[in-house]
Structure 1
């Protein structure tokens, strides 16, 4: 079967994740052939460092692929089949502020959860809508596969403000947890798992996990997670090939406490921020947050390596590697391009998939994906505990989008007040007022 070659634009060409996506695309050319890759970013200098290295990598490994790096929307979005978007409006400097302002008030600072997520969402909405508009103007038949965070708020914004757009919002955190489940179970690939899952982005639960023969894998997972969370056997033994960062080691271990609240399911790790916010504040360093870790490590390593490749003119000995989680985006693009009917976990309008939940909520559930996009799979009714948590969080997300759209200070104050990470409305207002000052160059004017 001759597969049609695809044209892709990576929106956020200057991202630290872009090299991993390029390496991943190159590893999958037999499944997803490419004729053209473009980079688009509004920061030319930052993008150039990644693009110069990517151009060398492509010339050495796939010289038949045309490559272009640009800051011109028309040039970037014309003649493309897929937009792979992972933008970060305000870059890591603003993420640092998102994390540190709430911590001044003993509220967790996190890039997608709580006030930090609200702040990031208020910056991201306009950026993502702008990319959709470019795509629809210059390549109206293209699909946008959106990785940009905070995915829950961005997904609600696209549902409400661009309801007919061909955008699919995705997140690789469940994929990363499923990789850990596979290690715990002694299996080889997450593709061996058949799962049922429901929730919101960074806010969900696995309700059924089986192998391809239909054997129930939850009992073994329950036994392990109740004692060790999602830390793998090799990590517990100290024999893992890669050392997990301390912050992530805590996150994966903390899952055992989240699991205890509903031991019939397997939780998403991000639930720790909503269910144990005081614990996370106690562990946080208000002067050195996750944003600082990323800037000091991943960001520095990626840009140093890209600059090294550019200086010596070859990538033959590079340690840049395919982003394992990003292979999910290839599966999604393949499903649309070649109608593979892949089963995938996506963020989609509920529309009755969770029977006893808001039909307009953007929920994360399994879908069958083909050339027409995702077909959500019905998950039935959900328990009162999860339903109550999700209703509160959906209200936060909807209020944020309404606040952005209407320029409403009141609704953004209400959104932050509703977050389970915030103790009361007075603290919510104090945090909001600080965030408004910090985001004066990014947020719409609120009144």
Structure 2
């Protein structure tokens, strides 16, 4: 999970701060020194860390903080606010022309950063906002780049403009804009070529496109897992081409997170979106305040609510609520709820957005093991329709067949059935549980589990 190591270290530092009723200036400075080391180990730029720590220390050693009712909490609040300032303070959207005009977006980045996939993700986001985007295949060098864009465009329901790999990218861009004008497209997204490293040919090609086509926004896609290199790449692109915004990919991986904390401060350019997975839906708007909350282990309830509201079908949620109240749900319903969770990024991601859960995650690994969820899914899919709707028919021979079909031990099938029956019993004992704040007409926010 992104920022896991940094988040753990910061939470331990703050836990020690909270445990002290009164703080001395020496306590604050010692804690901030640990914060500084944690940021450097997360690959945050040294200059950025230096500026950040100066701003925090100037505020944190003031008399109002040291003599306050809860000085530890005040220090955490200051770190949070300065972290938000570091990442941009305000959320920035892609700047689009009025709907009647064409907005041209030029996507840039090195090979391997996920640029082509991100280009299709952006198209899907804009389509969902009522725009009519056109994807343009300007990468004529990488094998299968055009095909990859076409496949992703089809999945998003967005047209892809291509002239093969024998035409110059600048000519493809010109022809695409003409095509967009004739066919009612109001956003043209140019998927340009990447290289293994920044080189003169790449830069000249991008400069030529910008000189011959009115590019409204130049967007750079960078791989968060490359840490400080991502910041260096962003600086070079901005210096030579000019960038209007950054999209960080692979933030779901084992990344130290330094790029997210450094790019805005080093380049002055905003982070627009963050890629949280391979699926075309795995692209989130970047909110500096929410990211700071995640890093500091304070959760991200707003994003969690948005995920639920966007991904959960209200009618299905009401029907599930009815079945849960009456304990009528079967394994098919159980499977559907798991698939909804996977659609939203997995149970561990969702729990990580709940305040206070970050620090507890390590103690409940077996509960939020997404691989275990996949095994459960395999077991349910190995059942017959009758077995899914009426688990009481599951005798030992049926359970063995299910275990063999799912490639698991029969003890896992027994455990699944037992947990399922216990869940039904619990719901019978708590008939009003789903009718309170989480359901009914009084609130639309429902978790799918």
TM-score by length of 1: 0.32
Q: Say which one has the larger Rg.
A: 2
From the two aligned structures, give the one with the greater helix fraction. 2
TM-score by length of 2: 0.32
From the two aligned structures, give the one with the greater strand fraction. 1
Quick one: higher RCO (CA 8 Å, sep 6+), 1 or 2?
1
